[in-house]
């Protein structure tokens, strides 16, 4: 079946426009409830769904809509209020729930929102279940008999339980005493979680982005704008800066000198701390967009590296296939399957800090051993979605560029999944050459597509 609503990370859109309307989300809740209740019935259980949300103002509407739809289908609902996406995944497992739902548009502005699902094991809902839900959405919405309606409760201790879960992701004896940390919570779902986690582990915390008003989530703050915490890091002479996105599944870090550390560099540090010198420990899964410097640095450390398609869903699939546990994206979406079932910004940052403490390193020292290659991206508008490999002229241009880069760089052409664009990416050791080759290929793509 062709997907109508679900993307690689649930359903997302502009608030007030389908699919993100109150009516549609209620029908989505009902459809999900019908599908999930059947699966719960197979286990002779009454289904339970855990719901969390980020801090955007539309969360109130969509929380109520989902609650109504699920209860009408006969499922019990447990509301957690504002909680990070990975917290919902964890609590879904902890409550032995049938599924978990997050109301969030992640790093998008407040005027967007979305709904994403976790299955009972804390992983993203399988494709076949999402397709079953899509097939049910347009069916007539019929409530179960009154005595079978779902009940709704609120989990009062979700915050404390998730804080303890995060703290337990590093060794019990590890303390952050003496460490000064700037935390930017993006006015999002980590605002009341992350400061407590790091303080309870002993760190001195300087807070940013912890005053959500429903409209300021991700606005000029957080993982999308990590440079904005530089002034605080330098002013307070902090050891580390840590920035999360609106739903807490992405993280960026900053060293004491104000240098930003992205997802590729965080992956490198975590891989060094957990995989070097350990036989059969596995390797790292990145994406097609992961910097070539990461691949080369891991190779130097004797750590295998594989690339998956862009998107945490594909990183997760490849990790499971290989039996590895560390993967992620340049954006800061880091997966540590030995700790949790989805990307978790707080837990990823804690893995880095724990290794720094154990080895007596600063963050600048911990990141040593990896040099990012210059990267140039050019977006080329095309009249319709095309496959670049279908055009000999484009293939020849790519091959010529690859020959010029030799083993010191790479070329990637990727059609956008949401817009009529071809993304031309070139990276290598020479900045001027990278930019020249990217623009040269982009010109060929544009001419071939009839734009010039």
pLDDT at 180: 98
Residue boundaries of the structural domains of the chain: 11-156, 162-366, 375-448
Q: What is the pLDDT of residue 83?
A: 98
Whole-angstrom distance, CA of residue 444 vs CA of residue 213: 47
Instruction: Give pLDDT tens digits for 71-125.
Output: 999 999 999 999 999 999 999 999 999 999 999 999 999 999 999 999 999 999 9
The CATH code of the domain at 11-156 is: 3.40.120.10
**Polymer length in residues for the chain:** 452
Low-confidence ranges of the chain (pLDDT < 70): 1, 417-418, 450-452
Q: Residue 166, exposed/middle/buried by CB under 10 A (0-12, 13-18, 19+)?
A: buried
- Cα angle 183, 186, 190 (rounded to 5 degrees) comes to 70
What architecture is domain 162-366? 3-Layer(aba) Sandwich (3.40)
Which helix (H) or strand (E) element contains residue 204? strand 204-208
Same fold, 11-156 and 375-448: no
Measured CA to CA, the distance from residue 345 to residue 348 in angstroms comes to 5
Rounded Cα gap, residues 103 and 53, in angstroms: 4
Tell me, what's the pLDDT at 452?
43
Tell me which CATH code domain 375-448 carries.
3.30.310.50
Active site residues: 106
Residue 318 has what pLDDT?
A: 96
pLDDT for residue 39: 80
C-alpha 57/C-alpha 64 separation (Å) is: 13
Q: Which of 220, 194, 217, 188 is nearest to 207 (CA)?
A: 194
Residue 444, burial from CB neighbour count under 10 angstroms (0-12, 13-18, 19+): buried
For 401, the enclosing helix (H) or strand (E) is helix 392-405
Beta strand pairing call for 409-415 and 421-428: antiparallel
Contact between 45 and 17 under an 8 Å Cβ cutoff? The reply is: no
Per-residue model confidence (pLDDT) at position 384? 74
- β 152-154/76-82 pair status: parallel
pLDDT of residue 450: 61
Output helix, strand, coil percentages for the chain, rounded to the nearest 5. Answer: 40, 20, 40
Distance CA 104, CA 61 (A): 12
Both tokens of 71, joined, read: 């209860």
Check residue 253 and give its pLDDT. 98
């Amino acid at each position: 079946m062709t997907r109508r609503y679900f993307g690689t990370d649930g359903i997302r859109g502009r608030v007030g426009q389908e699919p993100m309307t109150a009516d549609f989300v209620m029908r989505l809740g009902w459809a999900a409830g019908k599908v999930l209740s059947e699966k719960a019935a197979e286990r002779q259980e009454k289904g339970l769904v855990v719901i969390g949300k980020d801090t955007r103002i539309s969360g109130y509407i969509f929380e109520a809509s989902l609650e109504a739809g699920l209860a009408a289908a006969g499922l019990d609902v447990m509301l957690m209020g504002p909680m990070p996406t990975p917290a919902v995944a964890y609590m879904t497992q902890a409550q032995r729930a049938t599924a978990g739902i997050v109301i969030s548009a992640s790093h998008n502005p407040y005027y967007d929102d979305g709904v994403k699902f976790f299955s009972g094991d804390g992983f993203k809902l399988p494709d076949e279940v999402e397709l079953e839900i899509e097939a049910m959405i347009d069916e007539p919405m019929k409530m179960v008999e009154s005595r079978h309606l779902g009940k709704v409760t609120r989990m009062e201790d979700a915050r404390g339980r998730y804080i303890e879960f995060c703290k337990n992701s590093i060794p019990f004896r590890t303390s952050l005493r003496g460490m000064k940390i700037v935390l930017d919570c993006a006015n999002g779902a980590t605002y009341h979680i992350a400061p407590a986690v790091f303080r309870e582990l002993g760190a001195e915390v300087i807070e940013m982005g912890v005053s959500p008003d429903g409209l300021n989530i991700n606005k000029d703050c957080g993982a999308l704008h990590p440079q904005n915490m530089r002034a605080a890091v330098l002013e307070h002479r902090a050891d580390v800066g840590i920035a999360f996105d609106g739903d807490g599944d992405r993280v960026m870090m900053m060293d004491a000198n104000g240098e930003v550390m992205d997802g590729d560099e965080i992956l490198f540090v975590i891989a060094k701390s957990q995989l070097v010198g350990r036989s059969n420990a596995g390797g790292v899964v990145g994406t097609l967009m992961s910097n070539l410097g990461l691949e080369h640095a891991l190779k130097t450390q004797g750590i295998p590296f594989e690339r998956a398609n862009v998107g945490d869903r594909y990183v997760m699939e490849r990790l499971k296939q290989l039996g590895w546990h560390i993967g992620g994206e340049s954006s800061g979406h880091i997966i540590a399957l030995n700790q949790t079932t989805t990307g978790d910004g707080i837990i990823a940052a804690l893995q880095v800090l724990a290794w720094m403490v154990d080895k007596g390193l600063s963050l600048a020292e911990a990141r040593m051993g990896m040099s990012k290659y210059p990267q140039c991206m050019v977006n080329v508008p095309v009249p319709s979605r095309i496959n670049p490999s279908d055009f000999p002229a484009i293939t020849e241009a790519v091959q010529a560029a690859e020959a010029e880069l030799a083993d010191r760089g790479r070329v990637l052409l990727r059609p956008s999944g949401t817009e009529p664009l071809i993304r031309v990416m070139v990276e290598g050791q020479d900045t001027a050459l990278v930019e020249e080759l990217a623009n040269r290929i982009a010109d060929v793509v544009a001419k071939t597509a009839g734009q010039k």
